Amino acid sequence: MGTFITKRLLYTILILLAASLLIFSLYAWTPGDFITGNIKLTPERKAELREIYGLNKPLLERYGIWMKHALHGDFGYSMAQQKPVFTLFNQYIWNSFLLAAVSTFFTWLIAVIIGVVAAYRQYSWFDTLVMVVIFAAMSLPSFFIGLFLIKILAVDWKWLPPGGMLTTGSNATGMAYAEEVVRHMALPVIVMTLLGIGSLTRYIRGNMIDVMKQDYIRTARAKGLKERQVLFTHALRNALLPAITLVGFELPALFGGSLIIEKIFNWPGIGQLYMQSFGLRDYPLLMGFTVLIAILTVIGTMLSDILYRVADPRVRLQ
C-alpha cells in the first residue's frame, strides 16, 4: 500500500503540472483579456496597462511566472477584485461549502433510505410513485424550480427569505446568527437536494436489487437473521461499495460552488465569483480556482481508491 501511494502521488504531480499548463493556455487563448472589456480606456492606455500587468509577454513566460509564484504558495492577486486570491477563496468558498455539504448530506441520506425501501419493495406502488416523483424533480431545470419556490415560499407566503445569507443589516451573533443562516439556506438546500436525489436514488436502488439476489443474502436469511439486519448490514453495505467511486467526485463538488443556484438565491459563493471572473478574464483568480479544483479532483479519486481498499478486502492496490 505504501508504494501504491508513493506512485500515485508521483503521477498526481505530473497530472497537475500538465493540467495547469493546459488550463493556463486555454484561459490565455480565450479571445480578449482583462483589459479588452474596459470600454472606458483609450487604445493607448490599454497598451500601457498590458505592459504593467505583463499581459503582452509570451504565453510560456507568463505561465512560468505564474508557476514560480504558485510553487511558493502564492496564487497571486485578483485583478478585478484587488485582493489576494487566497483571501477571496477564504471569503467565498466556505459559503459554497456550507450549501454543498448540507445538501450532499441530505441527498445521500434520503437517497439511501428511499433507494433501499424501493429496492426491497420493487415494483410496489411505493416504488413506482417514488420513482415518478424523483424523475419529475430531477428533470426540472434548477432555475425554474428555484424561482418558483422563491415566488411561493418567499414572496407570496413569506415563510422564508428570498435570498442572500443574512438578513440585510442584521447584527445577530451566536445562535441567532446560526438560525438566520439556516433560514436563508433552506431554499437553496431544498432545490439542490431535489435535483441531486434522483440519480443517486436510482443508483442505490439498482445496486440493492443486484445485491439482494446474491447467495450470501439468501444464506443470511437462512441463518435466521432479522430482515432488518439482512437489509442494512449485509445488503446495504455491499450495495454501497460501488458508490465509493462517487465520493471521489463529491470532493471537488463540495468546494466548487454552484453557478446557477448561487445566482438565483443571491448566495455569496465561489461559483458566482468564478463566473464573473471568467467574463472579466481575471486570470489569477481563474487559474487559482481551476487548479484548486483540479487538485481536489485528483485527491478525491485517490481517496476513493484507498477507501475501496479499506472497505473491500478483495480489492488489491498495486
Partner 1 sequence: MKKSISTVSAILIAGSMLLAACAKNDNAAGPSQASGGASPSASASSSASASPAAGAEGLILASDLSKLPGTAQQRTDTIIVGLTDPSGAFTPYFHQSGYDGNVSSQLFTPLVSTDDKGLPIPALAESWDISPDNLTYTFHLRKDLKYSDGSPVSADDVAFTWTILYDKAYDGDAQVNTLGVKGGEAYKEGKADSIEGIKVIDPLTVSVTLEKPNASALIVLGSDVLSKAYYGKEYKPGQLDYIKNLHAKPVGTGPYKLEKFIPGQEVRFVANEYYYKGKPKTEHFIYKTSEGDTWQFIETGEIDFASFSATQENIDKLKSLGFVNILPYTPSTYGYLQVNLEHEALKDKKVRQAIAYGLDRQSIYVDANQGAGAVANIPSSPISWAYTEDGINPYKFDADKANALLDEAGWTKGSDGIRQKDGKPLSIHYLGSKSKNTDIFIAVAKENIEALGIKFEPEVFADFNSLVSKVEGGDYDLVSFSTPMLTDPADGLLQFVDGEIKGYDNPKFKELYDKGLATSDIEQRKAIYKETFQLLNDELPVIFTNYKKTVYAYNGRIQNLSVSPFNGIAPSLPDWSLK
| Residues forming the site for partner 1 (CB under 8 A) | 30-33, 36-45, 49, 52-53, 77, 79-83, 88, 91-92, 95, 100, 103-104, 147, 150-151, 154-155, 158, 161-166, 168-169, 192, 195-196, 250, 252-253, 256, 258-260, 263-264, 266-269, 272-276, 278-281
Whichever of 115 and 196 has its CB closer to partner 1, that residue is 196
Q: How far is the CB of 80 from partner 1 (least distance, A)?
A: 5
User: Would you call 265 exposed, middle or buried from its count of C-beta atoms within 10 A (0-12, 13-18, 19+)?
Assistant: buried
Whichever of 117 and 138 has its CB closer to partner 1, that residue is 138
Q: How far is the CB of 184 from partner 1 (least distance, A)?
A: 10
Whichever of 33 and 235 has its CB closer to partner 1, that residue is 33
Whichever of 120 and 267 has its CB closer to partner 1, that residue is 267
Q: How far is the CB of 57 from partner 1 (least distance, A)?
A: 16
119: three-class secondary structure by DSSP: helix
CA distances to 97, 168, 188, 239, 255 from 150, in Å: 22, 17, 10, 37, 25
Task: Report the candidate in 3, 8, 56 with the shortest Cα–Cα distance to residue 28.
Answer: 56
How many Cβ atoms are within 10 Å of 314's Cβ, its own excluded? 8
Report d(CA 199, CA 189) in Å as an integer: 17
Q: How far is the CB of 181 from partner 1 (least distance, A)?
A: 11
Q: How far is the CB of 219 from partner 1 (least distance, A)?
A: 37
Report d(CA 296, CA 282) in Å as an integer: 21
Report d(CA 11, CA 15) in Å as an integer: 6
Whichever of 169 and 224 has its CB closer to partner 1, that residue is 169
